[in-house]
Amino acid sequence: MEFKDKRVIVTGGTKGLGKAIALSFAREGAWVGVNYSSDDKSASRTEAELEGLSTKSLLLKADVSIGADVEKMIGSVLDQWEYVDILVNNAGIIRDKLLMFLDEEDWDRVLEVNLKGTYLCSRAIMKTMIARRFGRIINITSPSALTGRAGQTNYSASKGGIISFTKSLSKEMARLGITVNAVCPGIISTPMTENLDQETKSNFLNMIPMGRFGEPEDVAWAVLFLASEKAGYITGQVLAADGGLT
Ligand code: NAD
């Protein structure tokens, strides 16, 4: 019960990695607000699983790329829970295309959800963390940010931006008891990766020294570690949970 009564928000927390992170916090006694933007059915399933863990939870439908939605979402959490200890900026999308075929809309949307969403949610939560001189912000980046990947110029730019954002914000927050770190998942079995074709999957497997895709829980533990009290002297870092990939 390392996180008993800690108040956590996980963006994009109803599926894949975000869901595993949310459930892992709840199993450790945290109150968990899970945000999502679409697919009400999987959101309800996640809500039911959280309720089964008999902790407090909130289902938060909001588009993290829209400032007014984010302010409303965080405002409603603060009205009900008074403060938030931990924010996990996990919501993310891909729209992969070679640059030659990448139109402006696909460029903008990926940057808006992944990078602008991280900025908007962090900014909206900061005041309550500063007031209490405690906070943990954990941003989810990607190997694509570190090594690049053909067909992912938009995605890798957004995730590289998240690393730079993490480092700068960690310096702003360091004296206020708030740490800001990033977790870099490798290739993880989630809805985002299940549609990869067989050839891409076996190419990836060949690149992973551990010879297997990660499970969402492999990443969740890295997030929980950085969110823990014990990780209080670690800030501005990127922790890879990637089977040795990067
Ligand atoms: P996923 O597609 O399974 O889930 C994404 C979640 O984000 C969903 O809950 C969705 O509702 C939410 N979301 C999407 N757009 C949103 C928006 N505008 N506002 C609010 N919520 C929104 O994805 P996943 O595979 O679980 O990935 C989670 C994060 O991990 C992403 O940031 C992704 O880039 C990153 N990541 C994933 C992998 C992987 O192998 N799956 C590897 C590296 C990094």
pLDDT at position 77 is 98
- In the chain, which residues have pLDDT < 50? none
DSSP string, 97-140: --GGG--HHHHHHHIIIIIIHHHHHHHHHHHHHHHHT-EEEEEE
pLDDT digits (tens, 9 = 90+) for 168-184: 999 999 999 999 999 99
User: Quick check: 30 and 4 in contact, CB under 8 A?
Assistant: yes
Looking at residue 17, its pLDDT comes to 97
State the CB neighbour count (10 A cutoff) for residue 14: 29
Which amino acid appears at position 89 of this protein? N
CATH 3.40.50.1100 fits domain 7-241: no
Residue 89 CA, closest ligand 1 atom number: 32
Give this prediction's pTM.
Answer: 0.97
92 Cβ inside 6 Å of ligand 1? yes
Per-residue H/E/C for 175-201:
HHCEEEEEEEECCECCHHHHCCCHHHH
pLDDT computed for residue 195 by the predictor:
83
Each domain of the chain, given as residue ranges in start order, spans: 7-241
In Å, how far from its chain's centre is CA 214? Answer: 16
What pLDDT is attached to residue 191?
79
What's the CA gap between 175 and 181, in Å, rounded?
A: 15
Which structure tokens are listed for 73? 């979402």
Q: Write the CA distances from 242 to 128, 159, 183, integer angstroms.
A: 32, 15, 10
- CA of residue 62 to ligand 1 center, whole Å: 14
Q: What is the pLDDT of residues 194-234, one digit of tens each?
A: 888 889 889 989 999 999 999 999 999 999 999 999 999 99
Supply the residue whose CA is at minimum distance from atom 3 of ligand 1. 16
Whether the CB of 14 sits within 6 Å of ligand 1: yes
- Told to judge if 155 belongs to the known catalytic residues of this protein, a careful annotator would answer yes
Predicted local distance difference test score (pLDDT) of residue 172: 98
Residue 18 Cβ contacting ligand 1 at under 6 Å: yes
